[in-house]
Chain A
Amino acid sequence: MSTLSIINQKGGVAKTTTAINVAHVWAKLGKRVLLVDLDPQASATKSIFGDQEFEHTSYDLVLNKVPAKNAIQKSEDFGFDVVPGDILLSGVDIQLSAQFGREKFLKKALGTVKSKYDDIVIDCSPTLGLLTVNALMASKDILIPICPEYFSLKGIELILGTLKNIKTGLGHTIGVKGIVITRYRNRKVIKSVIDEVEERYGLKVFKDFIPDNIVVEEAHHNHLPVSRYAPRSKAAKSYESLAKELNT
């Protein structure tokens, strides 16, 4: 069983799109997958379930208000289970800040259900706070989506700095699966980004770039994974290939 956090402290880089589509491909491959929406904006939840509201969410999970199994919903269209997100997550930092073991609440909560899954994917909030720390403490690896047009080495440095702080301050080592380039348009820009990343940080850049394609947005609006909404699209094929490569 492995837990993967999709993380970038910059918004708009297709974190949610990557999380839900990778999780879907894994489910298609026969894996039992749980997606945890840990973003107060609950974008993954809205993509999957639309405006549906839920009694129990990741907010209840993190604060240990209910057993994890009570917060899990099934998505037939996506093929995996979901712990829905909630705007109340925006207050979690304040509620957890004075608590003993505040960094491991999510890990503890997921511990009660992890044996039921082959993979857990966490869609993280873009802000760095206790919520993201909880996600990272529960994770074995991270995947970093970046958008080359708005690329900044500073963003990657921030994430690597966070991982270092988690190791030194909290004693947990997290692997970096690599970087996935999303919303790309310009091949020349990508090459320079890849060269810079590989040279400076020695991080893997997945060869499956996710194009900036209208079908991705349309899939969201139709509450379907890209590979079901537009199976022949470049985006669908790229996510299939990325998910399989992540699996190896």
Chain B
Amino acid sequence: MKSNPLFHDSSVSQDSNVQTKFELMGLKTFNGDRVFMRLNLNDENTFYEMSYNEDSDFYETSVWLKHRRELSYNFLVKRGDDWVSASPQKEGHAMHSILDHWFALSDLEFKEELGFIEKKVESSKTIELEETEAKGSSNEEEFFDNLIKKWDL
């Protein structure tokens, strides 16, 4: 996938990790719906639950990744135990943020996506909001955690 090297952060080497923030705009959900980002790295899938940013009106989640690493991702909505909607898979590179606008798959495409998810679900990992919010951890703990993740120690 092509990208303009003018916007490759020269202060972050390709060996370093960068916190990639995924922002999803334009998605309207019902009360109780949960939104996930499915990240595919070398055929390994991880589901990251997204939180809603009220001020900016988008869903977001952050993942530490090797800078410029190729990835693919899409977004899914869960209602109760059921997946109810998904967006098409897109390709990108790990950088400071990935911005996207919600676009729902057609019914047929969604059924295919569902089939795919159900096949992969046993080998995939889900990171839910309770895990990503470091509740109760001290600032110092979070600081060192972030350093460890960033430098892959």
Contacts and interface: CB of A to CB of B under 8 A. Distances in A.
A30 interface: no
Contacts of A129: 6
Interface string A75-93: 0000000000000000000
Interface stretch (A100-108, A200-208, A238-246): A100-108
Interface string B74-109: 000000000000000000000111110000000000
B contacts with A: majority SS: loop
B11 interface: yes
A103 B10 contact: yes
Interface residues of A, number: 18
Contacts, number: 43
For B4, B10, B97, the residue with the greatest tally of chain A CB atoms inside 10 Å of its CB is B10
A133 interface: yes
Interface string B98-140: 1100000000000000000000000000000000000000000
Q: How large is the interface on B (under 10, 10 to 19, 20 to 34, 35 or more residues)?
A: 10 to 19
B7 interface: yes
B6 A167 contact: no
Given A101-B11, A104-B11, A130 B98 contact: no
Most A C-beta atoms less than 10 A away, residue of B6, B7, B8, B11: B6
B152 interface: no
A170 B4 contact: no
A160 to B, nearest CB: 12
Interface of A: 99-104, 128-130, 133, 164-171
Interface of B: 3-4, 6-11, 95-99
Task: Identify the 7 closest CB pairs spanning chains A and B, nearest first.
Answer: A169-B7, A171-B96, A165-B7, A101-B11, A168-B97, A102-B10, A169-B95
